[in-house]
Structure 1
Amino acid sequence: MSPAAHGTKLTSTIFFICTITLLSLLISSVGKTESYHPPQGTLVVTGDPWPPFADPNDPNLGIAPCILSKTLTNPESKVKMLFQPWARAEIAVDEGRADVLINCAKTDRREETYYFSNPYIKIKLVLIKRSDDPFVYTGLNSLSGKRIGTVYGYAYPDYFINNEKIYKDPVKTISDNFKKLHANRIDLIIDDELVATKQLLNMPTPYSNNFEIIPTEIAPIDLHIATSRKNPSGSKVIDLFNANLKKIMDNGVYQDIMSAYQANKSSIK
């Protein structure tokens, strides 16, 4: 099967799985959170573009919105997907301009601020280098002195963040990191394996050949939806999501979604 035919089949499969309930899933993108005021009665879900987990260019908006279409929507309610940089998404939830934060990893600080759902995906952190870079990863110590591209607000392992010998250089998006890596302004990028692979697949071949993914021994990280502890309905949203997540895991719909996105390695068993 040609790549084009495979892509058509994949899109059709995902559309069939998600389209009915996604009719009530709206999409928006804003430049400043302070200018946004959600309609009354609308459940606002927010996060940054992070294909394939959250993708404004995907008709079904990515894996997480597809799962939310099966767990948080019903005929009486609407869910609005608000794409914005991660740091702004956190502020929007903290200040009550959004209700749900998607693709959120637990940290001690966040657990003081948010209610967390059961995990619905897991990620595997990898490194990306320039193809002409002779660097060989042999563990955390081999990153000493390296400039590592990160993303503002993302949660990374404490032993990585707290290592002062590793220089972290945050930007708004992983796409910005690839631009900086190509320009030799950073040495490496750290991000999820599936996300990095998706980025490379979406690049023109001559450009994508400039990069190489390096596996690491970093343990997989569970991701959740989160709601503010200041939100009176926050815990109820989490309970609803958890109950319906179990249902779609039991009836096979969850695995159908993950398989349609070729994301089985990111599935929660």
Structure 2
Amino acid sequence: MTRSLLPGLLFAAALHCGLPAHAFAGTPVVPLLMGDTLDEQGKPKPMTALKRKLLDALEQELGVTFAPHMYPWARAERYAIDGAGLIFGLPKTADRLHALHYSDIAAYNNLWLVTRSDATFNFNTLDDLRGKTIGTVRGYQYGDEFERARSHKLFRTDEDISSRGTRLTRLMLKRVDAVLMFQPSTQTARDIETELRDFMAPRMPGLGAAANAGFSVLPKPLATDSGLFFAIARNKDDGIIDRINAALARIRKREEDARRQRPPN
């Protein structure tokens, strides 16, 4: 697929992706590339409520309608660099910063290591992962420091589809020592353990003896306040990144004002 055809094809696809009627009644449609999240059968899962809330707020501020297009991360990145549209959620690396113009931080995540409860280990630095097998999402890069350690074979990565259930099942089956998982920065390790226990409860009976352990989230995140950004090919930025930054600032100000006005508990 050539660079000249791809943006037009993405726009045409937007006509079939269930966008509201106002999207085509004078409201600009902006193709938005994102990494897919899949279930165990490889079928797309709905966008999370937090992500949908952010996009809804930005649509209102910018006067646009986002047309999300979900792909494996490596393909989404390639399309973004080719100028097919905005991309959301792609971490910064030195190479990407040359090709893409990034927004300010739109949201924050922490990157956690999840282990079996009977196979935890001490984690303070990447060196503590030496010799271990870490479950990652295929095609996703977790920042320069992690990627350098990966390329130097400090640890092994087991790349799989972006299905949380599939990767956690591999953890229970002892195929990996830990799974990398992004979660909103407002959540604690205990919050995440509760969420994972509830999420995996229907799947555990099918694992037999492998389900005898639970999940443990190691106390220290691998990365804290990891930013989620919008980005676009530098030669395709018509000012949209500046407009997104201004919109994000207005949204944050309203949220801060609302918090100040809430009565104390």
TM-score by length of 2: 0.68
Does residue 254 of structure 2 align to residue 248 of structure 1?
no
Bigger Rg, which one = 2
Does residue 59 of structure 2 align to residue 72 of structure 1?
yes
Aligned to 1:170: 159
The Cα shift of 1:199 comes to 4.6
Aligned to 2:229: 224
Decide whether the 8 Å contact of 2:80 with 2:232 is kept in 1.
yes
The whole-number CA distance in structure 1 between the counterparts of 2:100 and 2:167 is: 28
Aligned with 1:148: secondary structure?
A: strand
Aligned to 2:70: 83
Aligned with 1:72: secondary structure?
A: helix
Q: Report the more deviating stretch, 75-84 or 181-190.
A: 75-84
Q: Give the gaps of 5 or more residues in structure 2.
A: 1-5, 15-27, 39-43, 205-210, 260-265
Aligned to 2:170: 180
Identity of aligned residues (%): 23
The whole-number CA distance in structure 2 between the counterparts of 1:181 and 1:36 is: 39
Q: Report the more deviating stretch, 122-131 or 132-141.
A: 132-141
TM-score by length of 1: 0.67
Aligned to 2:200: 203
Aligned to 2:242: 239
- What is the alpha-carbon root mean square deviation over aligned residues? 3.4
The whole-number CA distance in structure 1 between the counterparts of 2:163 and 2:176 is: 13
The whole-number CA distance in structure 2 between the counterparts of 1:73 and 1:138 is: 42
Question: How many residues matched?
Answer: 216
Q: Report the more deviating stretch, 114-123 or 160-169.
A: 160-169
Aligned to 2:96: 110
Q: Give the gaps of 5 or more residues in structure 1.
A: 1-32, 257-269
Q: 2:147 aligns with which of 154, 157, 161?
A: 161
- Code of the residue aligned with 2:200 in structure 1: it is M
Aligned to 1:38: 11
Aligned to 1:19: none
The Cα shift of 1:128 comes to 0.7
Output one character per residue of 1:114-143: Cα deviation in whole Å (capped at 9) or x when no partner.
111110212222111112225333533321
